[in-house]
Amino acid sequence: RWLSGRNGPLAKRKVVITAGGTQEPIDAVRVITNRSSGKQGYALAQAALDVGADVVLITAPTSLIPPYGAKVIKVRTAAEMLDAVLQETQDADVLIMAAAVADFRPRVAQSQKIKKEREIPSLELEATPDILVEVAERRAHLGYPRRVIGFAAESEDLLANAQSKLQRKRLDMIVANDISAQDAGFEVDTNRVTLLFADGRMETLPLMEKDKVAEAVIGHLITMLI
């Protein structure tokens, strides 16, 4: 791997990366979450460090060890992730939203553990904030973060769905992730992705290790910032 470190092409660039699956509390012990491992986000943080970036890793709970040299901010919920992202991207060059943010959360979280002797509870859900939409709104008048990259995890209609997210969330690039296959996406070390750009360009990568996908994404980021 090409390690250029502090003199690398992203030296003095602030890159904020989110990773992992958020956890939305049901009660004192239970959460709603998803199958994200955090691997792709952590690999992106390492790849950005390797080319000299100042990396802020905003991470939902994972079993991974954060890469050495990143500033790590631990969050649990989508709301906490939103706060951290808005705080850290005010002066950032780049935001990469690799996290799998919960789309729904319980409307109320019980402060005590729900006991099974009582009736079986039903959960009333509400939408979480869409972090990329909030970032896009603020970026429209603030100008920061200068570049925004999103992910799209799709089980069908990969390119059409990714294209619409690219536009709705006003991204510079989206990493469209095919999660229909066993060897790609959640809980595995490999990903099968297509990169879609705001100017209409598209690039499909073969099945790759997540750290190679990360290097490819950071490579494109370098050309976007030069």
Nearest to 175 by CA among 193, 157, 188, 189: 193
Q: Identify residue 3 by its one-letter amino acid code.
A: L
Query: Whose structure tokens read 């939305």?
Result: 24
> Cα(48)–Cα(110) distance, rounded to whole angstroms?
40
Catalytic residue status for 34: yes
> In this chain, which of 152, 179, 184, 193 binds ligand CTP, going by CB under 6 A?
152
Nearer to Ca ion by Cβ, of 22 and 59: the residue is 22
The three-class DSSP label of residue 30 is coil
Q: Give the nearest distance from C-beta 13 to ligand CTP in angstroms.
A: 20
Q: Does 19 bind ligand CTP (CB under 6 A)?
A: no
Nearer to ligand CTP by C-beta: 94 or 153? 153
Q: Is 97 in the site for ligand CTP (CB under 6 A)?
A: yes
Under the binding rule (CB under 6 A), the answer on residue 130 touching ligand CTP is yes
Q: How far is the CB of 187 from Ca ion (least distance, A)?
A: 17
The rounded distance, in Å, linking the Cα atoms of 202 and 85 is 27
32 annotated as ligand-binding: no
Candidate segments 61-69, 150-158, 179-187, 206-214, binder of ligand CTP by CB under 6 A: 150-158
Taking the complex as a whole, the smallest distance from the CB of residue 89 to ligand CTP amounts, in Å, to 12
State which residue, 51 or 131, has the beta carbon closest to ligand CTP.
Answer: 131
- Beta strand pairing status for 94-97 and 147-154? parallel
Instruction: Measure the CA angle with vertex 82, ends 178 and 133; round to 5°.
Output: 60
CB contact set of 28 (below 8 Å; sequence gap of 6+): 110, 111, 112, 113
Quote the distance between the C-alpha of residue 159 and its chain's center. 18
Does the footprint of ligand CTP cover residue 153 (CB under 6 A)? yes
* Rounded-to-integer distance, Cα 84 and Cα 103, Å: 17
- Verify binding: residue 166, ligand CTP, rule CB under 6 A: no
Q: Pick from ligand CTP, Ca ion, none: which does 97 bind, CB < 5 to 8 A by kind?
A: ligand CTP
Question: Is 165 one of the binding residues for ligand CTP (CB under 6 A)?
Answer: yes
Tokens 């012990």 sit on residue:
29
DSSP-derived pairing of the beta strands 147-154 and 173-178: parallel
Q: Does residue number 99 form part of the binding site for ligand CTP (CB under 6 A)?
A: yes
Binding status of residue 27 toward ligand CTP by CB under 6 A: no
| Residue 174: strand pairing partners | 150, 196
Active-site annotation, residues: 34
Residue ranges of the annotated binding site for CTP are 103, 113, 129-132, 151, 165, 169
Query: Which residues lie near ligand CTP (CB under 6 A)?
Result: 78, 97, 99, 101, 103, 128, 130-132, 150-153, 165
